[in-house]
Amino acid sequence: MNPPQLPQDADGVLRLAAQSMFEVFAQAVEGMMVVDRQHRIVWISDGYKRFLPALGFGHETEFVGRRVEEVVPNTLMAQVVDQGQPMLVDLLTNKAGTFLVSRLPLRDDRGEVIGAVGMVLLDHPETTLQPLIAKFNRLQQELDDTRRQLAAEQVKNRRPKYSIASFVGSSAPALEIKRQARRAALSDATVLLLGETGTGKELLAHAIHTASPRALKPLVSLNIAAVPETLLEAEFFGVAPGAYTGADRKGREGKFKLADGGTLFLDEIGDMPLPLQSKLLRVLQEQELEPLGSNTVIRVDVRVIAATSRDLPAMVARGEFRADLFYRLNVLPLRVPALRERLDDVEALAEALLEDIVRRAGMASRSLAPDALELLMRQDWPGNIRELRNVLEQACLMGDEMLLQAAQLAPYLKHAASAAPRLGGPAGGDRPTVLPTAEPRPDDPRLLRPLAEQIAELERAALRAALRATGGNKLAAAKLLRMSRASLYDKLPLLDQG
């Protein structure tokens, strides 16, 4: 059989079919528009005109001729023109409502895209597609909420928790460290916070950042002692994509990069492994780093605050810490006083800590009885403010009384009364001695000696304690004892007599 002959006027029929289909669609659908190659609207159907008020237009003449993406929020018509790909069915949501739409590219005889036609197939698809749209809206809502929560979390985690005012205490050593912290905040130099565990080094690092010009940029913390040695380098400098297989395949930003523009708090810097110390030194000097597995250099602008409770100079002497890194970190050294050097602050600290403890635990408020305060002030506090907090927390959890008595605190004081030397007793020991706060018994025979001798003994003990506590710094010792430097110098000969 011969193949059927195409009718002579096939082209004409097709052209007419296309034209009449266009007209049929223009009538049948809710609305239709045509845009040109430059995304400009060239025509809208009569049906489309009723959407104009909801889109903010009074008349067709204000609308036609505009670029579609400027007048129809969320439309993908421009994308269809640019990519030449149809979108047969899609949901479009904007201020005019939710619509079921279809978008098709228009081509010339050579197949070049010359524009696109967009159709609103259903105006209120909710009625027909209700279950689908409800689900879509719910998922979208969940996605938006999760994104918002995540963003808020990220901001919260990066936001410093403390200001300098959060450092509770008005004793001379507390005022001095706060003054130094304020001064450090004004400079951009590396800060080295030195002090025993639990003295508030981390709190001060946050406070310095908050008071510095970098306050609106991130504060990123890294506790070097808490990260396994093998992972530290990646934590610091990040990993380039593809450097590893497995979880790190996609690459990861290092803490330096995350802190870019802000502050990096390096806690327990004394625990830094030697090989990494030289790499850290280079970053501190050059403000440049190379992520693991990459050979591109990244520039960063990071202010470093380091902290340690270890004796860094002794570690340098033993070859455990690089001298050059120590000097690079030691630009602004801040010595955070131990709690036993500022026992005057115990009351204010205990009050602030109790307030925080009961608030977090949702308990009724508590206060300290005078004998409880006296007991706390007689402690040595090797764990400092963290230890004070723990003791108060345990006592609060174990009893319901509003007024905490000494007897309730005593079981949690591992070092009970260890700091109180006997009047006239030796002032030796590793830790600075604390002056007795309890009265000696009235029948103590040592009270029946010349008063001047007893006062001199007490002064000697106080001077020794203050000098030991401040590492021999006479100005700081004088401040600790709330006396002038001149009076301290006057009294120094007493030490030779004892």
Q: Applying CB under 6 A, which residues contact ligand ATP?
A: 167-169, 195, 197-203, 267, 307, 309, 349, 352, 385-386, 389
In this complex, which beta carbon is closest to ligand ATP, that of residue 121 or of residue 192?
Answer: 192
- Which residue, 201 or 322, is less far from ligand ATP as judged by CB? 201
Least Å distance between CB 378 and ligand ATP? 20
> How far apart are CB 213 and ligand ATP at their closest, in Å?
23
Question: Under a CB-based contact definition with an 8 Å cutoff, are residues 116 and 105 in contact?
Answer: yes
Bridge pairing between strands 303-308 and 191-194: parallel
Give first-to-last CA distance, the chain, whole Å.
Answer: 132
Nearest to ligand ATP of 124, 159 (CB atom): 159
Smallest gap from Cβ 138 to ligand ATP, in A, equals: 41
Closest listed residue to residue 342, CA positions, set 90, 473, 173, 200: 173
CA atoms within 13 A on the CB side of 111: 1
The smaller minimum CB distance to ligand ATP, of residues 15 and 161, is found at: 161
Sheet (strand 263-267) strand order = 219-223, 263-267, 303-308, 191-194, 332-335
- Minimum distance from residue 208 beta carbon to ligand ATP (Å): 12
The nearest distance, CB 456 to ligand ATP, in angstroms, is: 34
- Comparing CB distances to ligand ATP, the nearer of 221 and 433 is 221
Smallest distance, ligand ATP to C-beta of residue 345, A:
7
Of 376, 391, 387, nearest to 346 (Cα)? Answer: 376
Tell me whether residue 386 or residue 474 sits nearer to ligand ATP (CB atom): 386
- For ligand ATP, the closer of residues 233 and 393 by Cβ is 393
What is the nearest approach in angstroms of ligand ATP to the Cβ of residue 300?
Answer: 24
Burial class (CB in 10 A: 0-12, 13-18, 19+), 95: exposed
- Cα–Cα dist 316/206, whole Å: 27
Angle, vertex CA 468, rays to CA 464 and CA 471, nearest 5: 140
> 346 with 373: CB under 8 angstroms?
yes
Q: What Å distances lie between residue 477 and 314, 430, 451, CA to CA?
A: 23, 17, 25
CB of 306 to ligand ATP, least distance (A): 11
* Residues 6+ positions from 294 with CB-CB distance below 8 Å: 240, 243
Specify the residue, 115 or 200, whose C-beta has the smaller distance to ligand ATP. 200
Nearest residue relative to ligand ATP (C-beta): 200
H or E element at residue 305: strand 303-308
